[in-house]
Amino acid sequence: MPRKYDNPPLIEALCEFRFLGEQAWDWTIPGILYEKIKADYPEKRQEGVLEVPVRPTPEAVLVELKTGISKMQFFRADRSALVQVGPDLLAVNAVPQGTEHLYPGWPAFKPEALKHLATYRAIANPRTLTRVGVRYINRVAVPTGEKFSLGRYFRVLPNLPAGLPQVLSTILINVEVPFDDLPGTLRFIFGSVSSEQPDVAHFLLDMEMYAAGEQVPDLDEVDGWLEKAHDRVEAAFDESFTEEAHRDIFREKAA
């Protein structure tokens, strides 16, 4: 049974889908999709792309500035969720906002993602998926003090060679773990991030279960794959922290 917290570390959850289309991308697709979801996602914004290609010539190095639109974003009025659409791309994001707008939980978030996937398919008619992923991003704030140690809260720690000082100022762990029973890979990133609070250390845990290439499920089988992928991410999160972290940092609720 999933743990529940009074102080959850989650800052963003998302399901991302990338497609192979039957034809060249049509920029009317985001507008059509917006008309169908604007009652729930009324605010829209375009995200630009800036390219600065450098092209050397015998006479000089030429720098060309190219701008454009990479994707459209449609937000809930409270900014707690958004839908992103770009060339052969759909992403559905939940962005918890403090204690007012908490993450709704996977049983509510997955149907929301599948609903938008069905809408996108009806509009864009993609041929197949090229990549699908379930991603959770967590920011963990840990008070420092006399008894502070990484091992007190984290089970994910770097191992340093003997003879080196066992004191770390920054951490970055980036690994990918393939799975056989569920086609896909768990991308696991854990690292320290800057903190403006003198007595608090901040860490980022970014986990994504994804499938690409030959491992990607058929469009009609995405529901089952998402469920199993979420289970993998949830289990990885649970095992990344000690019971003391679950109890004292995240303030786990009694079952």
Cα–Cα separations (whole angstroms), residue 108 to 97, 111, 157, 222, 225: 17, 6, 33, 16, 16
Per the DSSP assignment, residues forming a β-bridge with 177 are 186
Question: Can you give the pTM of this predicted structure?
Answer: 0.87
Residue 69 has a pLDDT of 55
Burial class (CB in 10 A: 0-12, 13-18, 19+), 63: exposed
Residue 194 has a pLDDT of 86
CA gap 62, 35 in Å, rounded: 42
Per the DSSP assignment, residues forming a β-bridge with 143 are 200
Kindly list the averaged pLDDT for each block of 10 residues, start to end, along the chain of length 255: 90 96 89 97 80 54 53 94 95 85 91 98 95 96 79 80 60 89 92 85 94 94 97 96 95 88
CA gap 157, 146 in Å, rounded: 20
